[in-house]
Amino acid sequence: MDSSLNTSEFQQFVQQESQKAMVNEMVAKLTSACWDKCITSTPGSKFSSSESACLHNCALRYLDMSMLIMQRFQSMQ
Amino acid sequence: MDTFSSPPSSGSTSPSPEAMMDQLQTQLAQAYAQEFLETLRAKCFEKCITKPGSSLSGSESSCISRCVDRYIEATGIVSRALFSRQR
């Protein structure tokens, strides 16, 4: 029995892992940026409702912005 | 995915693909954790150690614990926001 990696299986593995890495990176980057924007005081024992709303909105607005930048960029070509 | 159910190759030859992929996944998870830790250090240092003294004060240590908890919570809020959009 061949114990070497099945090519398509391996490709699937790599694809899955690189997708995971991309999502991971995106979440990490957004959390970092939104933390800086939204958490201005020293961290308390609980987020205030405005802090958690800000984090939520910040992530979504970042997505909106990415879309706008993409469109703007494409219209320049 | 049926190949995942095949028994691991016994013998002293090269490691099985399953073992290799497992190992890769472990290493990736370690890398993610390390990166996350580095972020925690940077963010909480900035927030909590505003004026480094001769030792870590009690209020600084409690700020650090809260900062770590809040940063983890913030990561959850951001990823939930992202996934809520993806549908």
Domain ranges of chain A: 3-76
Please give the pLDDT value at position B3.
52
- The closest of A41, A24, A37 to A65, measured between CA atoms, is A37
Tell whether B14 is within 8 A of chain A (Cβ).
yes
Q: CA A34, CA A61: separation in Å to the nearest integer?
A: 10
Q: Which residues from A are below 8 Å from B74, CB to CB?
A: 31, 34-35, 38-39, 47, 55
Q: Domain A3-76 - what CATH class?
A: mainly alpha
Work out the burial of residue B28: count CB atoms within 10 Å of its CB; fewer than 13 is exposed, 13-18 middle, 19 or more buried: middle
Q: How many domains does chain B have?
A: 1
Residue-wise pLDDT for B42-78, tens only, equals 999 999 999 999 999 999 999 999 999 999 999 999 9
Q: Which domain holds residue B69?
A: 55-87
Q: CA A17, CA A26: separation in Å to the nearest integer?
A: 14
Interface probe for A, chosen from B78, B79, B85 (most Cβ of A below 10 Å), is B78
Its pTM stands at 0.82
Q: Do A10 and B17 touch (CB under 8 A)?
A: yes
**Is the pLDDT reported for residue B81 higher than 90?**
yes
Helix residue ranges per DSSP H, B9-57: 17-48
Tell whether B83 is within 8 A of chain A (Cβ).
no
Asked if residue A9 lies in contact with residue B17, where contact means CB atoms within 8 angstroms, the answer is yes
- The closest of B84, B65, B42, B49 to A32, measured between CA atoms, is B42
Tell whether A49 is within 8 A of chain B (Cβ).
no
Tokens of B64: 């650090």
Residue-wise pLDDT for A22-39, tens only, equals 999 999 999 999 999 999
Work out the burial of residue A5: count CB atoms within 10 Å of its CB; fewer than 13 is exposed, 13-18 middle, 19 or more buried: middle
